[in-house]
Amino acid sequence: MSVHVWDAPVRVRYAETDQMGFAYYAHALIWFEVGRTSCLRDRGYPYTRFEEEGYRLPVIEAHVKYRAPARYDDVLIVQTRIVEVRVSRIRFENRIVRAQDRKLLMEGEVVLACVNSAGRPVRIPEDLRDLLGATGE
């Protein structure tokens, strides 16, 4: 599948930290989304286009493994890679590293389903499947 990795920088804001001074764990999924939308935009298929065509991409599976904490004002690099494109699903792999020392902080994957505006599963548009490099049924 795709060997290209998209890098999207984010900076940990004070509001994203908890009482211990760590970035609150749920923000990893938000940062994964930053990576996904950047990836799609860079491939020429921004999420707004997807919605304009009547499609949605809800998350149906998510997994995060935490290796080390991110802290306030850290600059993070969200690395995103497309690892699987099927008829109606896309699987993204993510890694979040601290920009300063490239230390791996978080990693995981997210699976999205393609649905219509009524929420029913549908095939990913053929031009998007071709653009992302479909891997099977």
Q: Report the topology of domain 6-132.
A: Thiol Ester Dehydrase; Chain A (3.10.129)
Instruction: Give the pLDDT confidence of 84-135 residue by residue, as tens digits.
Output: 999 999 999 999 999 999 999 999 999 999 999 999 999 998 888 888 775 5
* Residue from 55, 61, 46, 62 nearest 115 by CA: 55
Residue ranges of the domains in the chain? 6-132
What is the spatial distance between Cα 132 and Cα 43, in angstroms, rounded to a whole number? Answer: 8
Instruction: Give the alpha-carbon dihedral of 65, 70, 76, 81, to 10 degrees.
Output: 0
Instruction: Give the pLDDT confidence of 25-60 residue by residue, as tens digits.
Output: 999 999 999 999 999 898 888 989 989 999 999 999
